[in-house]
């Protein structure tokens, strides 16, 4: 979409400064690659050097950010929070393609299901017995929704996601393609030379404003629910085992795995490829750094690293020490000889 800089500034709650706000912009770009006709953002001092040469037509920038020299022809868009204003500009200039809201004649929908207003159900999707889809939700193509599933309003369930029976999903939830919600958890009892399957009769409950990445798997509870609190965001290819309790506004990055019956408290962050053993509690706002393996409870606010994970600073001290170990082994031998000499 093309807007004048003036219009964009108004839409995004910013004040134009300099340049010619009657010029138009058609798209957004980062400050290193932005060209004429584009809007960009400067929110971090380390990118300041790119400002003087930018070809962008406009640039969001904090009211408090001091600029030595503004390129001729660039309009600064002054605002309190340039990152957020810029996101808003991106959304405005690059609106998502409207999908045609329709219930595909090639979907198979149980007669006793309940469909809200203004929803979309793509071709080759199925909706099971007694399930309900809230107003304004979009179910893309090839999505399979089991029986007794409840999906809230304004949700997006992308192509080829699968949602097993009895799942409960709140409002404004996004589930990306290939995500599998509420498959059986992984539990067996070993008897007489065989693994006997633990029946999984629980479900998955996902609160409002959750986003679930592509090909992520969330197992249902054995008994009771696997739950994900409001506002939590889960990346791609994550494994979330049975009976985990994920709090609010939790961040779980790609390829992380949470085995089962864990509690991840509000605001915790699990960085990429991290893993949590079963029955572990991760405290509020705690950070598990990338590729760490956690086998014991982590306190609120702690930052841990390594496998097994420990306090970040302690772990790094050990790492630094390890790099000196080959040298230490040599020096130790030398010292031994010197002591021997003294003894003789």
Instruction: Point out the residues that are catalytic.
Output: 242
| Of 196, 260, 258, 278, the residue nearest 222 (C-alpha) | 260
Is residue 21 part of the contact set for a copy of itself (CB under 8 A)?
Answer: no
Is residue 283 part of the contact set for a copy of itself (CB under 8 A)?
Answer: no
> Interacting stretch for a copy of itself, rule CB under 8 A, among 13-21, 53-61, 68-76, 218-226?
218-226
Secondary structure letter of residue 298 according to DSSP: B
Alpha carbon of 64 to those of 15, 163, 260: distances in Å?
13, 48, 47
- The site that binds a copy of itself (CB under 8 A) totals a number of residues, namely 107
- Residue 1's CB is within 10 A of a number of other CB atoms, namely 10
Is residue 229 part of the contact set for a copy of itself (CB under 8 A)?
Answer: no
Please say which residue, 16 or 202, places its beta carbon nearer to a copy of itself.
202
Please state the closest distance from residue 219 (CB atom) to a copy of itself, in A.
7
As to burial, measured by CB atoms within 10 angstroms (0-12 exposed, 13-18 middle, 19+ buried), residue 276 is buried
From candidates 16, 178, 247, 283, binder to a copy of itself by CB under 8 A = 178
Please say which residue, 72 or 320, places its beta carbon nearer to a copy of itself.
320
How far is it, in rounded angstroms, from Cα 287 to Cα 267? 9
Is residue 279 part of the contact set for a copy of itself (CB under 8 A)?
Answer: no
- Residues with Cβ < 8 Å from 18, sequence gap 6 or more? 70, 74, 75, 76
How far is it, in rounded angstroms, from Cα 241 to Cα 219? 5
Is residue 300 part of the contact set for a copy of itself (CB under 8 A)?
Answer: no
- Residues with Cβ < 8 Å from 255, sequence gap 6 or more? 235, 236, 237, 238, 272, 273
Please state the closest distance from residue 12 (CB atom) to a copy of itself, in A.
13
Please state the closest distance from residue 242 (CB atom) to a copy of itself, in A.
11
Is residue 1 part of the contact set for a copy of itself (CB under 8 A)?
Answer: no
From candidates 131, 209, 226, 263, binder to a copy of itself by CB under 8 A = 209
Is residue 272 part of the contact set for a copy of itself (CB under 8 A)?
Answer: yes
Site string for a copy of itself, 34-63 (x = CB under 8 A): ------------------------------
């Amino acid at each position: 979409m093309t807007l004048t800089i003036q219009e964009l500034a108004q839409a995004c709650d910013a004040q134009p400064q300099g340049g010619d706000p009657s010029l138009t912009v058609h798209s957004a770009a980062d400050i290193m690659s932005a060209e004429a006709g584009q809007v960009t953002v400067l929110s971090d001092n380390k990118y300041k050097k790119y400002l003087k040469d930018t070809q962008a037509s406009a640039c969001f920038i904090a009211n408090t950010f001091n600029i030595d020299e503004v390129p001729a022809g660039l309009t600064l868009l002054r605002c309190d929070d340039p990152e957020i204003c810029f996101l808003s500009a991106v959304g405005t200039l690059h609106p998502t393609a409207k999908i045609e809201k329709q219930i595909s004649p090639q979907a198979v929908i149980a007669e006793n299901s309940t469909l809200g207003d203004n929803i979309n159900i793509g071709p080759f999707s199925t909706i099971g017995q007694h399930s309900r889809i809230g107003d304004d939700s979009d179910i893309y193509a090839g999505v399979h929704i089991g029986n007794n599933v409840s999906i809230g309003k304004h949700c997006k369930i992308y192509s080829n996601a699968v949602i097993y029976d009895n799942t409960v999903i709140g409002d404004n939830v996004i589930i990306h393609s290939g995500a599998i919600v509420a498959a059986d958890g992984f539990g067996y009892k070993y008897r007489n030379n065989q693994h006997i399957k633990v029946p999984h009769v629980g479900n998955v409950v996902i609160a409002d404003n959750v986003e679930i990445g592509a090909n992520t798997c969330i197992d249902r509870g054995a008994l009771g629910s696997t739950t994900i609190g409001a506002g939590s965001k889960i990346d791609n290819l994550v494994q979330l085992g049975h009976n985990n309790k994920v709090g609010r506004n939790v961040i779980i990055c790609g390829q992380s795995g949470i085995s089962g019956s864990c509690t991840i408290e509000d605001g915790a962050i699990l960085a990429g490829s991290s893993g949590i053993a079963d029955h572990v509690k991760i405290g509020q706002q705690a950070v598990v750094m990338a590729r760490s393996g956690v086998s014991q409870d982590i306190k609120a606010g702690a930052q841990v690293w390594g496998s097994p994970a420990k306090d970040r600073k302690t772990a790094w001290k050990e790492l630094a020490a390890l790099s000196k170990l080959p040298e230490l082994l040599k020096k130790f031998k030398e010292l031994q000889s010197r002591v021997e000499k003294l003894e003789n």
